[in-house]
Amino acid sequence: MNMGHEYCGVVVEVGSEVRTIKPGQFVVGSFCASDNTCPHCQFGFQSACRDMEIIGGAQAPYARVPLADGTLVATAELPDAEMIPHMLAVSDVLGTGWYGAVAANVRKGGTVVVVGDGAVGLMGVMAAQQMGAERIIAMSRHEQRSALARKFGATDIVSERGGDGVARIMDLTDGIGAESVIEAVGTQQSMDQATGVCRPGGSIGNVGVPHGINLDGFQFWLRQQRLAGGPAPVRRFLPDLMDRVLAGKIQPGLVFDQVLPIAQVAEGYKAMDERRAIKTMLLVEE
């Protein structure tokens, strides 16, 4: 499969059954193609669309987007060049971090813990800030990522991990824990941290793709926590997030700390793998 499912750009051509999307429009989509009309889409879970297709091949000069009318959201005008990184971030990492915050039931005035300082975790911090959380505790031990987390609204940074990290957060919250926890890693350790700091009655938004996570049903029951998440229905949030970007309220594209021509894509992955870059943006030359 060709790589690439985060994308935005100008429509070059549309299929014969496409009704609303037009050539020349600037559009943002997500990693799931969806019709946006079936019962699951109408319920806000476009990533579970009956006709869902995973998008691939977007790291290329041109990409074909299935179900264009349902998948893509167009802007009224072509955005300025400096808006492009922010629009690209909306397409996946912000949409996913936002969903993590929604799944974690982030509320105005609430306390939020974000487990994970990758691009999605950092976007979770931004989402929690936009939703009015009063205290946002980001777990990070990476200087540059911690700095960005603070810029996006984190009020506290916890560099400890595992049991020490849990203990530190319980200290910071007077032994209560957080009502909302965004889990943006997907390992057993990160999930243990999330369940360890979530207060009874609190919610965990799990957007990190799980790798070998086991939950003890009895312990989970005993903790009285809610767990929601899964592949983010980014399409639900696209219109709102694109509006926030265009209104200058948020700058999610700051998460791209490396920009490369598409020919150097391999170096982009290497830099992210070695944690030299948080996230790489690829440019396509005309």
Applying CB under 5 A, which residues contact Zn ion? 34-35, 38, 41, 49
The minimum distance between CB 154 and Zn ion, in angstroms, equals 35
C-beta closer to Zn ion: residue 41 or 127: 41
Backbone angles phi, psi at 193, to 5 degrees: -65, -40
Residue 147: both structure tokens together: 């700095």
3-state secondary structure of 165: helix
Strand 8-10's sheet: what is its strand order?
Answer: 8-10, 26-28, 73-74
The minimum distance between CB 44 and Zn ion, in angstroms, equals 11
**End-to-end CA, the chain:** 24
The minimum distance between CB 49 and Zn ion, in angstroms, equals 3
CB 34 within 8 A of CB 52: yes
The minimum distance between CB 35 and Zn ion, in angstroms, equals 4
The minimum distance between CB 20 and Zn ion, in angstroms, equals 15
Closest CA to 49 of 65, 72, 67: 67
C-beta closer to Zn ion: residue 36 or 146: 36
- Euclidean distance between CA atoms 250 and 241, whole angstroms: 9
C-beta closer to Zn ion: residue 15 or 163: 15
Residue 137: both structure tokens together: 């505790």
C-beta closer to Zn ion: residue 35 or 160: 35
Query: What CA dihedral angle connects 275, 95, 282 and 256, to 10 degrees?
Result: -50
The minimum distance between CB 19 and Zn ion, in angstroms, equals 16
C-beta closer to Zn ion: residue 36 or 193: 36
3-state secondary structure of 120: helix
C-beta closer to Zn ion: residue 67 or 94: 67
